[in-house]
Structures are given as structure tokens and as C-alpha cells.
Structure 1
Amino acid sequence: MQIIKDKQFGGERPLFASHDLHIDNVLITEGESAIKECSNIKATNCRFEGNYPFWHVHGFEIENCYFAVGGRSALWYCDHLKMRDTVIDAPKMFREMSHLELKNVTMNDADEVFWRCDNIRIENLKMHGGTYPFMFSHDVYVDGLESDSKYVFQYARNIEVHNAKITTKDAFWEVDNVTVYDSELNGEYLGWHSRNLRLVNCHITGEQPLCYAHDLILENCTFGEDCDRAFEYSTLNADIKGSIANIKNPMSGRIVADKIGSITIDENIKQPADCVIEERK
């Protein structure tokens, strides 16, 4: 493998079509597409300031690197990436990618990241700001996520999340086959229009959670005091620890809680309107 160390590159496509290359302590300055149409690339201790540095790259590692704001849209149309111990200040990262492994990564502008990606494995990711991370992505495993980005995991499928703290609005909308374990989910309108969403040992806050959900499962979950009008028009099986403030018009299934503040069943409930709602005895 060729090694390039302690160098600086700028302009248009300075390392275009490189293969079997290790760059260490390299600065990519203003310009575009520094490492495009490449394979078997390793980047360590590098700084990326120019646009679109990694496009159409197949098989690469990024370790202890930094993507400045100017390095936007840095990783598109790539596959088989391993990234660790990296800080990203640039938006619109990870688009149309496959087979990603991330560990100890911080994204300070998580706007439109992980769009239409698949086979992602993540350990310890921090996402701040931005909208719609993970939209249209599938086959994702996450262990350790801290996020305050808006609209997380919309239109995603086959997702497994552990040990997350997600503070957002409209998370997990229109998802398919998603399980979340041991996590804190804060924000309005959680999980609307979801299919096969399962929450295990989770704490949920925010108004109108889990409405229009199909085949929703809750196991050993707790709710904040602000969770009113929950489960409207949903089909579900929910085991709730502690109390829930208000349940409104669930369609079918069973809800059991230690304490239920109030239940709203009105003329707008949808058939079959046979959901069993009860306090634990």
C-alpha cells in the first residue's frame, strides 16, 4: 500500500482513481472530489475542508479524522466503510451507501445524513442539529446514540437501537420492523404510522405518542406526565410501568398500566374499537 504523509492537496480531483493508498496527516483544502472513484483507501489523522472528498469509493477506512464545514456531502455512493474516532462538522454526510461501520463518531450538523443507506452498524454516535437523519435507510444496528436532530428514522425499516437518548420531533414515522431497547425517547408525535414498532424498557415523553401505529408492542415502558392522547387509532399490545396520563381511541389490542389518568373514547373511534384497557391488579 502506498503511503502519503504530511502533505496538502487542493483543487479538483487531486487523488482521483487512487487504489491501495494510505494517507496520514494529510490536509485536503478547498476544491472538489479529492478522493473519487477509488478503492482500498485508508485515511488517518487527516483534515477535510473541500467539498465531496469521498465519492464512489469502495472499501476504505477513516480514523481520527476531521471534516470541516466545507467538507459537505463528503461520503456519497460508497460502500464498505469503517469510520472511528472522527468528528464531523459538515452536513449531508453518508448518502446512497452500503455496509458502514461507525464507532465513536460525533456529527455536529446531522442534516440529511444517512439517506438511503443500508447495512449500517454503529457504536457510540452523537448527532446534533439538522433534520431527517436515516431517512429511507434499512438494516441498521445502533448501540449508543445521542441525538437532538429532528425527524429521526423516518421511512426506515429493519432497525435495531440500543441505549439511545433521542430528543426530537416526529421520530420513527412510517417505519417498518423497528425495535428500540433501553432508551429515552423525548418529543412529540413519536412513531406515528409505524408498522411493527417494538419498544422495550424505554421511557417516553412528549404529546400524542404512538398514534396510527400498526402492530405496536410496548414492554416494560414508562411515560412522562406530558404523554396525553396516546395510541389514537393504533393496534397494539402495551405493558406500561407506572402511570400514563391519557389514552385516546385505540383501535384494538390490549393496554395494561399500573395507573391510567384518563381514557377518552368518543364517537370518532375507529373499528373494531375493541381494545382492552385496564389497570394492573
Structure 2
Amino acid sequence: MTTKFNNKYFTGERILFGANSLELKDCVFGMGESPLKECRDLQLTDSVFTYKYPLWYSENVRVERTTFETMARSGIWYTNKITVANSALQAPKLFRRCQGVTLDHVHFGDAEETMWTCKDIRIADSQINGNYFGKDSENIYLDHVSIIGNYAFDGAKNIEAHHCTFVTKDNFWNCENVTVYDSVLDGEYLAWNSKNVTLVNCTIRSDQGLNYIDHLTMRNCKLIDSDLVFEYVSGLDAELAAPVVSIKNPVSGRVKVPEIGQLIMDEDKIIPERTVIECEKIGERIAASDLNQAAVR
């Protein structure tokens, strides 16, 4: 049997601890930690959380048009099968070690250290603001998501993104299996130390981006105002639709690009013949001897 609460104000620690089959509408949770800890089968609508740890160790949760205020921090940890839709999430550190997370039309006002070590995540039509979003998480699907904040998805695995915007330094570091379609990526040092990265129809602006990658594939992408790209990238297969400022020391593979402003191939660091450069115009070529002479001067 489902228990229903309408227009209720709750206070006190663990006020509904361990409850099952609840429908809460127009409710406010005031002072008191962990009000819905260890709960199952919850439906929350048009409600507000004002204090810490509202949903820990819970399961089968649906949240609609609900607000998590600033002090509802560390709010959703160790919770499985949760959907949050049309909601405002102001608190930091909201998701940790959760599995089966679906977010639709949500806004994160402060996503600092949010969505850490989670699995099976789907986010659509949402805005995320904050550093270190998605650290060490797995199986992530993004569609029309905007992320502003540095170090997103550090150490994450199995990421697929469509029609997204990433304004973030050190995005996709230490990742495995990242595929991004029809998106904008703006931020320095993109995707260092990652493996199996694929970018399709993307516009990218990154200072020293796309370095230290094992297997990088790019199709119909633009690298605008991006310098010193592809350093120590192995298994490179890039077809670029616009000129690139500079390329430095790719380890192996192929690059097809209409124009390169500066190509640095230092034979003291790499074997240049292992990378095929298909380019109509190269403004400047720099080899190891040129670099050594510049250092002496």
C-alpha cells in the first residue's frame, strides 16, 4: 500500500527512515539529516530539500519538479535506480556511488564533486556548473548537456555524448572509451592520458589539447585556435575540416588536414615516418636540429 503525504513540513533526523512506497507532493524537508535514508519506491513531486543527506541507500526513486537547496549537500549517495526530472539542484556533491541514474531537464547550480564513482548514467537536456563532475564514473550517455567547470569526467569510462557543450579545462583526462558527436569542446589540455577517444563533427578549441592518447579518431572536426596538438598520440586517425595552428610529435597514425601552421616532428623524441601527414599547405616545419639550434641561441 502506498502512503501519501501532501503539503507537509518535515523536521528531525531520519524522519522517514526505512519507509517504503511513499508519494510526497508539495512537501518541505527542513532541519534534520538523512530524512529518506534506506527508503524504497519513492515518488517526490513539487518538493524542497533544505538540509543534508536526503537520499542515502535508497532505491527506485522518482523526483519531479523538486529543489535541492545549497545545504542539501552530499544528497544522493549509494542510491540505485533514481530519476530526477525538471528540477533545480543547487547543492554540491549530490551523487556518489549510485547506479542507474537518469537526469532529464535538470540544472546544477553547483555541481562541485558531483556524480563520482557512479554507473549507468543518462543525462539529457541539462545544464551542469561545477568542477570535477563525473569523476571515476562508468557507462555515461549525454544528450544536449552543457557542462561548465574544470576537470570533468576524470578517470571515467564508456562515455557517449551527443549535441553537448563542454567548457572545461582538463576534460576527459585518464578516460577510456570516449565518443563525442556534434559537440563543442572548449578548454586547454583536452583528453590527456586517455585511451580510445573518438570525436565526430565536433568543434574544438584547446591549448595543447589531445595529447598523450592511445588511439584517437577524429572525423570532420575543426580544431580552431588550437596549438601543439597530438603530442605523443599513438594510433592517430584524424580527418580535420579546417586548418590547425600547430601539430607536435604524434607517435603513429595519420592526419589529414587542409593546412598546418607549424609542424614539429622531433626525431629525438619520435620516429616521424610512423605518422602520415596529408596536408596541402604547411607553413613551417621544425625538426630536432632546428629545436637544438633554437636552444643554443
TM superposition score normalised by structure 2: 0.92
Once the two structures are superposed, what CA deviation does each residue of 1:190-246 show, in whole Å capped at 9, x if it has no partner?
011110000000011020010000000001000112x11000010210000010010
Q: Do the aligned partners of 2:245 and 2:262 also contact (CA within 8 Å) in 1? A: yes
Q: Which residue of 1 aligns with 2:217?
A: 217
SS at match of 2:95: coil
CA distance in 2, matches of 1:92, 1:9: 23
Q: Which residue of 2 aligns with 1:122?
A: 123
Paired AA for residue 73 in structure 1: S
Mapped pair 1:189 → 2:185: no
Q: Map of 1:41-120 to 2, 5 A cutoff?
A: 41-120=42-121
Paired AA for residue 189 in structure 2: Y
CA distance in 1, matches of 2:173, 2:12: 41
- Structure 1 unpaired stretches of 5+: none
CA distance in 2, matches of 1:91, 1:30: 18
Q: Which residue of 2 aligns with 1:25?
A: 26
Q: Do the aligned partners of 2:224 and 2:242 also contact (CA within 8 Å) in 1? A: no
CA distance in 1, matches of 2:187, 2:113: 19
Once the two structures are superposed, what CA deviation does each residue of 1:49-98 show, in whole Å capped at 9, x if it has no partner?
01000000011100000000010011000000011000011000110000
Shift of 1:124: 1.1
Q: Which residue of 2 aligns with 1:163?
A: 163
Q: Map of 1:124-273 to 2, 5 A cutoff?
A: 124-128=125-129, 130-225=130-225, 227-235=226-234, 236-271=236-271
Computing the radius of gyration from Cα coordinates, the structure with the larger value is: 2
Q: Do the aligned partners of 1:250 and 1:269 also contact (CA within 8 Å) in 2? A: no
Q: Do the aligned partners of 1:54 and 1:76 also contact (CA within 8 Å) in 2? A: yes
Q: Do the aligned partners of 2:203 and 2:221 also contact (CA within 8 Å) in 1? A: yes
Paired AA for residue 234 in structure 1: V
Q: Do the aligned partners of 1:10 and 1:50 also contact (CA within 8 Å) in 2? A: no
Q: Do the aligned partners of 2:13 and 2:33 also contact (CA within 8 Å) in 1? A: yes
Shift of 1:273: 5.5
Give the CA RMSD over aligned residues. 1.2
- Structure 2 unpaired stretches of 5+: 282-297
Q: Which residue of 2 aligns with 1:8?
A: 9
Q: Do the aligned partners of 1:251 and 1:273 also contact (CA within 8 Å) in 2? A: no
Q: Percent of counterpart pairs with the same letter?
A: 38
Q: Which residue of 1 aligns with 2:275?
A: 275
Shift in alpha-carbon separation, 1:189–1:179, aligned structure 2, 3 A: same
Q: Do the aligned partners of 1:250 and 1:273 also contact (CA within 8 Å) in 2? A: no
Q: Do the aligned partners of 1:255 and 1:277 also contact (CA within 8 Å) in 2? A: yes
Moved over 4 A (4+): none
Q: Do the aligned partners of 2:244 and 2:260 also contact (CA within 8 Å) in 1? A: yes
Shift in alpha-carbon separation, 1:4–1:241, aligned structure 2, 3 A: same
Q: Do the aligned partners of 2:134 and 2:152 also contact (CA within 8 Å) in 1? A: yes
Shift of 1:31: 1.5
Paired AA for residue 99 in structure 1: G
Once the two structures are superposed, what CA deviation does each residue of 1:129-149 show, in whole Å capped at 9, x if it has no partner?
x32111110011110111111
Q: Do the aligned partners of 2:162 and 2:182 also contact (CA within 8 Å) in 1? A: yes
Once the two structures are superposed, what CA deviation does each residue of 1:135-178 show, in whole Å capped at 9, x if it has no partner?
11001111011111110111001110011111110000011011
SS at match of 1:70: coil
Shift of 1:189: 0.3
